[in-house]
A = this chain, B = another copy of it.
Amino acid sequence: MVRNTKEEAELTRRHILDAARRVFLECGVARTTLERVAAAAGVTRGAVYWHFKNKTDLFFAMREQATLPFVDRVVFDEVEGDPLQGIERALGEVIHILSDEPETRETIEILSYKCEYVEEFSGLRQRTAGQLEFLASLAAAYRRAAAKGVLRAGFDPAVVAQDTFLFLSGLIKHWLSSEPGECFRADALDLIRSHVALRRA
């Protein structure tokens, strides 16, 4: 029964968040018990209830951490003055984030496959502000491409952006379901390249 300092307390809070992510991923959110989270974090439920109100609170706290990499890594800057290449790079960056940021990857997997969107989680279904912003940036990039004449003629940039957005949704979903060594993962970047190439004039 040693009382921890503030810094140590912040550490256990992070340990609990990490443990929650692992247990959520293994057991699913609904079946996850705070007892297991506590055990995985090397503490008791007392500590969990000290830092978080309940499982829902813990879940949303864990979720917050995951969106961060996207906002500063996924940008639509043009590459060599070509908006389409900028889009290709941004899409590829999303996949790279899934590859080399395991915490983000796990959290998104939890949100995709280990969580039921009912009651207090219903709100998560609607497109997040981040997603809407991504879609808007995508449409803007396609408009720039159209203005430069590199977008295939006769296609509405907004519609093409939607198509790309849905493609990316599906890509992420299936990428998360593929095994680390599976060919689908290696092919993902090829799929992105083809996807963008289809839109080029």
Contacts and interface: CB of A to CB of B under 8 A. Distances in A.
Copies of the protein in its oligomer: 2
B28 A117 contact: yes
Interface in A110-139: 113-119, 125-126
Given A156-B194, A199-B198, A29 B170 contact: no
Given A170-B169, A171-B166, A173-B169, A159 B191 contact: yes
A62 to B, nearest CB: 15
A95 B27 CA distance: 33
A102 B199 CA distance: 35
B163 A195 contact: yes
B198 A155 contact: yes
A159 B26 contact: no
Given A30-B31, A31-B118, A116-B28, A126 B177 contact: yes
Interface of A: 26-31, 113-119, 125-126, 152, 154-156, 159-160, 162-163, 165-171, 173-174, 177, 187, 190-191, 194-195, 197-199
